[in-house]
Amino acid sequence: MPVKDRPVDRHARAISRIILLTGVVEAPVLSDMLRLHNPALGIAAVATAAGLAEACASATAGTRLLSFCSAVIVPGDRLAALPGPSYNFHPGPPERPGRYPSAFALHEGDKRFGITVHEILASVDSGPIVAAEWFEVPAPSLRPEKDLEALDHLTLMHLLASFRRLAPHLALKPEPLRRLLIGWQGRKTTKADCDALCTITPKMSADEGARRRSACGPHLLQQIPTNEGGV
């Protein structure tokens, strides 16, 4: 359902600090993109829930939270401590909310995949969408266990490009990004769903086993048959 744009606060403070919730590898790359447009910008890069709590405790009127491919869920009280909308860069299209969207896309044979940038709400992957892109899923490789890696790499490249495009606004302007008339669709997947997907059992068909190898890659778990009648 379309969501109206957030009212603009004409007295909002300029952005002076970014809380960057992401991995230790991505943090310096993203920080450089932001500081290219605001050299004086303070950046608190955090990778854990504890680090996020500490950073939010010292939030000021010029603080903005950005989450980039992080599995850390931002609680409502952390969001309430921040002056404006926070944004998440989600490694999947609006049709794939939740955890590990690329694995489910490969397993279900999606022809297109994508990325989503959205406002963070207490409910995961439900906030208004401010940017979205779609692209073709790479053709299956001769080594199915590499399919997930190929899709994840392509997704990361699109996410980085989107972050680079939005960086001038995110690093400088307190006004919210314009919301798109696009809504979330589909089932929100969880870690438990992915754990089940990445398990191959002895009774599974060869076709299903192959689909799961493609979808899960190095995360695949194999259940070893047991001899129920003896040692």
Predicted TM-score of the model (pTM): 0.89
User: What are phi and psi for residue 75, nearest 5 degrees?
Assistant: -65, 160
Q: Is the domain covering 17-222 a CATH 3.40.50.12230 domain? A: yes
Cα atoms found within 13 Å of the Cα of residue 99, Cβ hemisphere only: 14
**Tokens representing residue 95 in the block:** 């049709």
- Judged by average pLDDT, the poorest of 76-85, 139-148, 163-172, 202-211 is 139-148
Per DSSP, 11 falls in state: T
d(CA 14, CA 110): 42
Q: What is the pLDDT of residues 14-40, one digit of tens each?
A: 999 999 999 999 999 999 999 999 999
User: How many CB atoms are located within 10 Å of the residue 78 CB?
Assistant: 23
The domain ranges of the chain are: 17-222
d(CA 34, CA 172): 9
User: Which residues touch 37 (CB under 8 Å, ≥6 apart)?
Assistant: 167, 168, 171, 172
Pairing assessment for the beta strands 221-222 and 199-200 based on DSSP bridges: parallel
**Tokens representing residue 114 in the block:** 């994508």
Angle 145-150-151 from CA coordinates, rounded to 5°: 105
